[in-house]
């Protein structure tokens, strides 16, 4: 029973004698099981209280850097702000650096500015390209921990990745698609915002692999570089539909779903099955209107809480923990939508 506390302190916390605590800690006989449990609980309580003391008065300035459509950055901001009270007695302050698109050099300049100015940590959603990899390495060299969110950068010295298992998410989408389409004919459009985001690439690979195993005759039509933005997504989807009259279902990996549905409607086409990701404000409305079949979602509040805890641990303010596990993948339909944040 490892611990850093004096026997006298444990005895006071447990309401037991020092001799009894000594017998429990050293495995001597003559101690009831319930007494041993009381000693274990006292040590756990002391450890938790010590953590609280370490957090009192601590302020952590964290930078949130994301390349993502506004609808998702808004959801991330709301999730973080909803979790801030649960992080007390520490105080977490955040600076947001959001952009929907643009040259990668702008993103690396943002990361380098953070490195020069200083930060307790960076939570990052960025494409997996060499310039970003180098910028994350520079942050690590300057002692700033980086946590990747939603999409990973595994070749960088980032501290941890927080998010779902994206291959499993893609395979889940394939399972749902196969269940709903069954043996009906029709091609499936897979839509990515960009091929440079590792999470989207992994979702597409998981989807393609599972569809090949479950329904090898089904044709998949890949669409990319719409950046998840309605303005560009509409043109790409409409062109794909005009080229291929057999497209009857969509797995939207990268967003832009309002534009995708509008392209179907403008051509008088019906989308039989539509599986998307993330309960942002657009997808929430589309799901309520039964225009999406299902949304694969994960608890952003839990993700932001875990990302903040990882940064705190990097500064010794929380005790060490085991490896970060993937977030649970939730299959959300119009009938089991979670209560909105706030």
The mean pLDDT value for 167-178 works out to: 97
The mean pLDDT value for 180-189 works out to: 95
The mean pLDDT value for 1-20 works out to: 80
Closest by CA to 226, choosing from 197, 264, 267, is 197
Structure tokens at 139: 């942050």
End-to-end CA distance of the chain: 42
| Residue 51's pLDDT band (cuts 50, 70, 90) | low
Q: What are the CA-CA distances from residue 126 to residues 27, 104, 147, 200, 278 (Å)? A: 52, 9, 11, 12, 17
| Residue 341's pLDDT band (cuts 50, 70, 90) | very low
The mean pLDDT value for 106-116 works out to: 94
Please state the pTM of the whole predicted model.
0.80
Of the ranges 34-38, 67-71, 159-163, 224-228, which is most confident? 159-163
Q: What is the pLDDT of residues 113-151, one digit of tens each?
A: 999 989 999 999 999 999 999 999 999 999 999 999 999
Average pLDDT, the chain: 90
pLDDT at 29: 79
The mean pLDDT value for 70-78 works out to: 90
Q: Taking each helix axis from N to C terminus, what angle separates 70-83 and 300-314, rounded to the nearest 10 degrees?
A: 60
Q: Is the pLDDT of residue 275 over 90?
A: yes
Closest by CA to 317, choosing from 91, 3, 95, 43, is 91
Please check whether residue 114 is in contact with residue 144, taking contact to mean a CB–CB distance below 8 angstroms.
yes
The Cα–Cα gap between 49 and 28 comes to 28
Q: Is the pLDDT of residue 52 over 60?
A: no
User: Quick one: which H or E segment has residue 274?
Assistant: strand 273-277
Residue with tokens 């959300």: 332
| Residue 251's pLDDT band (cuts 50, 70, 90) | very high
Q: Which residues of 118-142 are buried (b: 16+ CB within 10 A; e: fewer)?
A: ebbbbbbbbbbeeebbebbebbbee
Neighbouring CB atoms inside 10 A of 259's CB total: 22
The mean pLDDT value for 84-91 works out to: 82
φ/ψ of 295, rounded to 5, equals: -125, 130
Please check whether residue 21 is in contact with residue 12, taking contact to mean a CB–CB distance below 8 angstroms.
no
Residue % of the chain over a pLDDT of 90: 64
Beta-bridge mates of residue 190: 222, 251
- In the three-class reduction of DSSP (H, G, I as helix; E, B as strand; rest coil), residue 122 is classed as strand
The mean pLDDT value for 310-321 works out to: 89
pLDDT at 8: 87
Q: Which residues contact 274 (CB under 8 A, 6 or more apart)?
A: 249, 250, 252, 257, 260, 261, 291, 292, 293
| Residue 227's pLDDT band (cuts 50, 70, 90) | confident
Of the ranges 39-48, 290-299, 331-340, which is most confident? 290-299
Residue with tokens 């089904």: 218
DSSP conformational letter for 85? G
Q: Taking each helix axis from N to C terminus, what angle separates 33-55 and 18-25, rounded to the nearest 10 degrees?
A: 100
Q: Is 87 exposed, middle or buried (0-12, 13-18, 19+ CB in 10 A)?
A: middle
Please check whether residue 11 is in contact with residue 38, taking contact to mean a CB–CB distance below 8 angstroms.
no
The Cα–Cα gap between 250 and 128 comes to 25
User: Quick one: which H or E segment has residue 248?
Assistant: strand 247-252
């Amino acid at each position: 029973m490892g611990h850093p506390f004096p026997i006298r302190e444990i005895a006071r916390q447990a309401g037991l004698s020092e001799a009894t605590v000594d017998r429990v800690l050293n495995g001597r006989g003559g101690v009831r099981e319930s007494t041993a449990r009381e000693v274990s609980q006292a040590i756990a309580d002391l450890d938790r209280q010590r953590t609280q003391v370490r957090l009192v008065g601590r302020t952590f300035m964290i930078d949130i850097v994301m390349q993502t459509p506004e609808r998702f950055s808004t959801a991330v901001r709301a999730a973080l702000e909803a979790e801030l009270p649960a992080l007390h007695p520490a105080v977490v302050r955040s600076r947001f650096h959001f952009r929907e698109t643009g040259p990668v050099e702008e993103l690396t300049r943002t990361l380098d500015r953070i490195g020069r100015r200083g930060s307790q940590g960076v939570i990052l959603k960025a494409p997996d390209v060499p310039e970003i990899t180098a910028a994350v390495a520079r942050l690590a060299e300057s002692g700033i921990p980086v946590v990747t969110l939603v999409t990973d950068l595994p070749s960088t010295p980032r501290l941890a990745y927080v998010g779902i298992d994206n291959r499993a998410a893609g395979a889940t989408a394939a399972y749902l698609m196969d269940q709903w389409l069954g043996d009906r004919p029709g091609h499936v459009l897979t839509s990515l915002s960009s091929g440079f985001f590792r999470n989207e690439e992994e979702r597409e690979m998981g989807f393609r692999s599972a569809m090949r195993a479950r329904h090898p005759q089904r044709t998949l039509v890949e669409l990319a570089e719409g950046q998840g933005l309605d303005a560009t997504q509409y043109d790409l989807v409409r062109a794909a539909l005009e080229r291929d009259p057999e497209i009857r279902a969509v797995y939207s990996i990268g967003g832009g779903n309002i534009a995708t549905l509008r392209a179907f409607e403008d051509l008088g086409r019906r989308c039989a099955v539509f599986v998307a990701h993330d309960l942002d404000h657009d997808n929430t409305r589309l799901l309520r209107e039964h225009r999406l079949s299902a949304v694969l979602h994960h608890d952003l509040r839990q993700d932001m809480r875990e990302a903040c805890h990882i940064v705190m641990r990097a500064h010794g303010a929380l005790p060490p923990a085991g490896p970060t596990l993937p977030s649970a993948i939730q299959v959300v339909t119009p009938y089991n939508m979670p209560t909105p944040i706030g």
